[in-house]
Amino acid sequence: MYQYDTHDQTLVDQRVAQFRDQVARRLSGALTEEQFKPLRLMNGLYLQLHAYMLRVAIPYGTLSAAQMRMLAQIARRYDRGYGHFTTRQNIQFNWITLAEAPDILADLSRVQMHALQTSGNCIRNVTSDPWAGVAPDEIEDPRITAEILRQWSTLHPEFSYLPRKFKIAITGAPSDRAAVRVHDIGLRMHRDDRGEAGYEVIVGGGLGRTPVIGKTIRPFVPKRHLLSYLEAIMRVYNSFGRRDNMYKARIKILVDAIGITEFRDLVEAEWTTLRETELDVAPETYAAIAAHFAPPAYEALTGTVAEAADGASDAVLARWIRANVAPHRVPGHGIVNVSLKGTDQPPGDATASQMDLLADLAEHYSHGEIRVTHEQNLVLPHVRLSDLPALWAALEAAGLGTPNVGLVSDIIACPGLDYCALANARSIPLAQALTRRFADMDRAQEIGELHINISGCINACAHHHVGHIGILGVDRHGEELYQVTLGGRSDEQAALGKVVGPAVPADRAVDLIAGFVDTYLAIRQPGERFIDTVARVGTTPFKETLHAAA
Amino acid sequence: MPLLEAGVRIADPWVVVTEPQAVPADGPVLVPLARLTTERDTLVMRRAPLGVLLPNDAAVADLTVLVDGDLNRLGLIVLAFPAFKDGRAYTQARQIRETHGYRGRLRATGEVLRDQLLFMVRCGFDQVVLDSADPEGDWQTAVTEIAGVYQPTGDGRPTIPALRRHTLRRKGLAA
């Protein structure tokens, strides 16, 4: 994992002192709320209905055991004993007081963490593959680049007052687990014909009110030119992005308005002034950061995850291994995914004691490392297969053993009308109703990979456009209804879901989705996942379910 | 409002000449880009310093063509922050300094807040109009409270990556 040097630590410490002064000026009235707002936002502090919410950056979703323990301590000391892991691999605390916010940031800095740029119209925390460094199909560890981007974007003087927020994601593997085609900038690592690793640069993707699949602006940018190329993109966006309407201010709107060709021409012209400068990533700089991500000292072991599942002493354990443990690049090891989607658990929430336990388990079983996924689950990335039974037993005892990762009840849901002022409809009760409907875990495994995303409004915080089944909450004359889409996906074949039928009440939505699943089971071909069947047959056979249910 | 140059309060010698006024024969004058466009020859031939107010939706290239590609024919360029949230002038400033090599005075006006001064200085501004009871103290705090920088911007500060490379090379020599 990346370790701060004195430069990184000093910057974060000075930033805490700066924010403490800004908070003092706000509390004394020297700063108006309007003047203070952008300052607190750039430190991750939102003002919600009842309290402040603090969003803490978890760079590219990687956490150490010590960092997880600090998050638990913050949850206990400053919040109500829990935290919420987000779809951007961060964590949010919902019951924060303004006066205590600087103390929380000081506590975070002691474990090399911060809340910089987790909000505001700046470059946000860079997200990546939660299986970075351990996925068998990986070309190169994307965390190296993500850390370079973290540093470059931190307090960037030119790009801290952009037209709107800006999100960058990177994948180092052909299987895209970072949703790079639905980000403002997506980076996909691959090799050119000489075998050199670099990036396909994708621009103008995004979800929200105007969902767009990103377009490739340059098929290959070598590593050393990455920052100059991105700086050119940011500069064009900062100059020409709309500022008159916040709903039209994201880069996707600009790219769409002028077209990718003209946008590319502007970027390339700007790039000529920026490349071959100090912005170039020197090979020694890349190597020095790469050294932080050197693999841990794995034991020489044998065996595969499939063998571990087949050889499990217990059918429940075997089911958990099949659902939650993914193949690792090193023999005899597995990537353990810990579900935060138990029945009656708000998706992504973890209590302070669960966080402490995960820190302990990471130390015992995973070389002290934890990851956060954009599906709002956690990962222990380096587990010996022989440790799976003991690890599973410990997770199970803490309510963290739900065997549903990637399955129908591993639902991504936003806070919805229960917590959010923007929402039109509740999300969590519908997620819980679906979880109960699909509570039979053997059947869930039979159904296989299926992603359901539920957003409570068109801001699409739960990314419903890219759910295999997407659900959007709408308000019709005071009634909460749900609009269902099919066929969305955020992987390397990213696509937006298609609307099927009119919006329906919550109970009907549950029946409808159960019907879609039945249709899929009836018509699927061997080896076909839900999304593959939808891709093959389209939405028509599923619409028949709709009529049957009506 | 106080005008600061490199953190020190100064008097403003520049006379702003808006549309209906005649341009005085002597002394530094500051004109909007539109006026420079229409009266380019007269203004450039004047034997006194010329400054330009560049709106934040204007391209820097539109200004450079008016001065035969040499921004150093200008003594002052004033960029606008109509709202502190509107960050277009940061990009203009870096283009003016780094792409076009301008060495004259570069001033920030509009909604300039103390908490943006560091970014402004890093992007190449050396003058700001700052509404503050203690502008010099605010400047001093703003430009020193965070010492390290990750990005090269042409402000001359050694970046953290450069400092690290320097350390690596010294270690390499020592080894």
User: Do B42 and B50 form a contact (C-beta atoms < 8 A)?
Assistant: no
Q: How far apart are CA A516 and CA A509, in angstroms?
A: 10
d(CA A228, CA A13): 28
When the pLDDT of each residue in chain A is averaged and rounded to a whole number, the result is 95
List chain B residues with CB under 8 Å of A166.
none
Q: What is the pLDDT of residue B170?
A: 86
Q: Between chains, do A151 and B91 touch, taking CB under 8 Å as contact?
A: no
Task: Label residue A550 by pLDDT band (50, 70, 90).
Answer: low
Write the residue in A14, A22, A158 that is nearest to B115 by C-beta: A22
Contact of B113 with chain A, judged by CB distance below 8 Å, is answered with yes
What is the reported pLDDT for B25? Answer: 87
Chain A residues in contact with B86 (beta carbon < 8 A):
161, 243
- The average pLDDT across A171-184 equals 97
Percent pLDDT > 90 in chain A is 92
* Contact B163/A at CB under 8 A: yes
Which pLDDT score, from 0 to 100, does residue A192 have? Answer: 95
When CB atoms are compared, the residue of A8, A239, A277 closest to B91 is A239
Is there a contact between A160 and B119 if contact means CB atoms under 8 Å apart?
Answer: yes
Collect all residues of chain A within an 8 Å Cβ-Cβ radius of residue B119: 155, 157-158, 160-161
Task: Please give, rounded to a whole number of angstroms, the shortest distance from the CA of B173 to a CA of chain A.
Answer: 15
Q: Are A188 and A202 in contact (CB under 8 A)?
A: yes
Instruction: Report the chain A residue with the minimal C-alpha distance to residue B121.
Output: A157
Query: A21: buried, middle or exposed (CB in 10 Å: 19+, 13-18, 0-12)?
Result: middle
B79 close to B92: Cβ distance less than 8 angstroms? yes
Domains in chain A: ranges and CATH: 6-109 (3.90.480.20), 134-290 (3.30.413.10), 305-397 (3.90.480.20), 412-549 (3.30.413.10)
Model pLDDT, residue B173? 67
What pLDDT score was predicted for residue B174? 62
What tokens appear for B148 in the block?
Answer: 């390290």
CB-CB under 8 Å, B91 with A238: yes
pLDDT digits (tens, 9 = 90+) for A368-427: 999 999 999 999 999 999 999 999 999 999 999 999 999 999 999 988 888 787 889 999
Task: Name the residue with tokens 């709002």.
Answer: A376
B84/A35 Cβ within 8 A: yes
DSSP 8-state code for residue A293? T
Q: Hey, are the CB atoms on B122 and A157 less than 8 Å from each other?
A: yes
> How many Å lie between the alpha carbon of A161 and the closest alpha carbon of chain B?
5
Query: Do A9 and A112 form a contact (C-beta atoms < 8 A)?
Result: yes
- Of all residues in chain A, the one with the smallest CA distance to B93 is A158
Taking contacts as CB-CB distances below 8 angstroms, the residues of chain A near B116 are: 161
The answer to whether B162 faces chain A, any CB pair under 8 Å, is yes
d(CA A223, CA A458): 37
CA A154 vs CA A43, A114, A150, A464, B75: distances in Å: 11, 11, 6, 30, 33
In the numeric block, which tokens belong to residue A332?
């005899």
Chain B residue numbers with beta carbons less than 8 Å from the beta carbon of A161 are 84-87, 90, 116, 119
Q: Determine whether the interchain pair B152/A35 forms a contact, defined as Cβ–Cβ distance below 8 Å.
A: no
Are the Cβ atoms of A161 and B86 closer than 8 angstroms?
A: yes
Please calculate the CA angle B77-B79-B85 and round it to the nearest 5 degrees. Answer: 165
Q: Which residues of A touch B113 (CB under 8 A)?
A: 35
User: A77-134: per-residue pLDDT in tens?
Assistant: 999 999 999 988 999 999 999 999 999 999 999 999 999 999 999 999 999 999 999 9
Residues of chain A contacting residue B148, judged by C-beta atoms under 8 Å apart: 7-8, 10-11, 14
pLDDT of residue B18: 83
Percent of chain A with pLDDT over 70: 99
Of A155, A157, A277, the CB nearest to B90: A157
Residue B11: its pLDDT value, please?
Answer: 97
Mind telling me how many Å the CA of A105 is from chain B's nearest CA?
16
Task: Please name the residues in contact with A150: beta carbons below 8 A apart, sequence gap of 6 or more.
Answer: A59, A60, A125, A126
Q: How far is B124 from chain A (nearest CA, A)?
A: 10
CA distance A274 to A237: 15
Q: What is the pLDDT of residue A126?
A: 97
Pairing type for strands A325-327 and A333-338 reads antiparallel
Q: Which residues of B touch A11 (CB under 8 A)?
A: 146-148, 160
> Picking from A61-70, A353-362, B19-28, B32-41, which range would have the lowest pLDDT averaged per residue?
B19-28
Asked if B131 contacts B9 with a C-beta cutoff of 8 angstroms, the reply is no
d(CA A150, CA A447): 39
Pick from A102, A15, A113, A101: nearest CA to A64: A113
Q: Flag if A151 and B149 touch (Cβ within 8 Å).
A: no
Higher pLDDT, B112 or A35: B112
Q: Is the pLDDT of residue A549 over 60?
A: no
A-facing residues of B in 13-52 (CB < 8 A) are none
The A-side interface with B (CB below 8 A) comprises 5, 7-8, 10-11, 14-15, 17-18, 21-22, 35, 38-39, 121, 151-152, 154-162, 235, 238-239, 243, 273, 277-279, 282, 284-285, 288
Contact yes or no for A11 and B147 at CB 8 A: yes
Confidence check: pLDDT of A38 > 90:
no
The residue whose two tokens read 């009842």 is A50
pLDDT on residue B19: 74
> Phi/psi at A413 (nearest 5 deg)?
-135, 145
Q: What is the pTM of this model?
A: 0.96
Q: Kindly tell me if the per-residue pLDDT of A230 is higher than 60.
A: yes
Three-class DSSP category at A11? helix
**What's the pLDDT score for residue A420?**
80
Residue B162 pLDDT grade (very low, low, confident, very high; cuts 50, 70, 90): very high
pLDDT at A220: 98
Closest CA to B90 of B80, B100, B99, B76: B80
CB pairs under 8 A between A and B: 102
CA triple B54-B56-B61, angle to 5 deg: 65
B18 Cβ neighbours under 8 A, 6+ residues apart: B32, B35
- Return the C-alpha torsion angle A90, A161, A266, B98, nearest 10: -120
Q: Give pLDDT tens digits for B64-105.
A: 999 999 999 999 999 999 999 999 999 999 999 999 999 999
Q: How far is B59 from chain A (nearest CA, A)?
A: 9
Tell me the C-alpha distance between A444 and A411, whole Å.
13
| Per-residue model confidence as pLDDT tens digits over A463-500 | 999 999 999 999 999 999 999 999 999 999 999 999 99
Residue B33 parent element (H or E): helix B33-38
CB < 8 Å to A21, chain B: 145
CB-based contact A239:B91 (threshold 8 Å):
yes
Per-residue pLDDT band at B175 (split at 50, 70, 90): low
* Chain A residues lying within 8 Å of B168, measured CB to CB: 284, 288
A237-274, pLDDT tens digit by residue? 999 999 999 999 999 999 999 999 999 999 999 999 99
